[in-house]
């Protein structure tokens, strides 16, 4: 009986820890529409129409598909498919693209809106909505 109880507690602990760490990725999955881009040396503040720039995170193959209706009004990435990974160091969530340490974005907020910051190129940030 003690072994069974210990086994149940162990399994429950593993499942709860797995769910907690994957909550961020679960909410990242799906299609996000860019609604605003701001920052840079020229202090840009641009609003976007729904569907003008879309980022779709696929949970099955860890691919990000980017669709820009106008390549001149994009955020960081040209249209295409990129691999991604999400790293959480406890206080900051980093989104790596194509396994490149220099091609990274800081996830500032991830709730009903996704706010990311490109901390390597003049401090641009972008806000997306599902």
Report the predicted TM-score, pTM, of the whole model to 2 decimal places. Answer: 0.75
* CATH number, residue 77: 2.40.128.280
Domain hosting residue 78, numbered range = 29-129
- Between CA 112 and CA 128 the distance in angstroms is 9
**Within-domain flag for 48:** yes
Give the Cα-Cα-Cα angle 72, 74, 77 (nearest 5 degrees): 115
**Within-domain flag for 10:** no
**Within-domain flag for 35:** yes
**Within-domain flag for 72:** yes
Residue 70 per-residue DSSP state: S
Mean pLDDT of 41-63: 92
pLDDT of residue 30: 94
pLDDT of residue 7: 43
Q: How far is CA 46 from CA 26, 107, 124, 125, in A?
A: 28, 19, 11, 11
How many domains does the chain divide into?
Answer: 1
| pLDDT tens string 14-37 | 544 444 445 555 588 999 999 999
pLDDT of residue 37: 92
**Within-domain flag for 90:** yes
SS3 label, residue 99: coil
């Amino acid at each position: 009986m003690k072994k069974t109880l210990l086994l149940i507690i162990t399994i429950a602990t593993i499942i709860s820890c797995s769910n907690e760490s994957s909550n961020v990725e679960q909410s990242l999955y799906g299609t996000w529409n860019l609604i605003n881009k701001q920052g840079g040396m020229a202090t840009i503040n641009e609003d976007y129409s729904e569907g003008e720039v879309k980022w779709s995170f696929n949970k099955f193959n860890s691919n990000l598909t980017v669709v820009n209706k106008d390549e001149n009004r994009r955020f960081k990435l040209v249209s295409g498919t990129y691999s991604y990974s999400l790293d959480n160091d406890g206080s900051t969530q980093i989104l790596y693209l194509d396994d490149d340490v220099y091609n990274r974005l800081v996830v500032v907020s991830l709730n009903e809106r996704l706010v990311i910051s490109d901390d390597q190129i003049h401090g641009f940030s972008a806000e997306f909505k599902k």
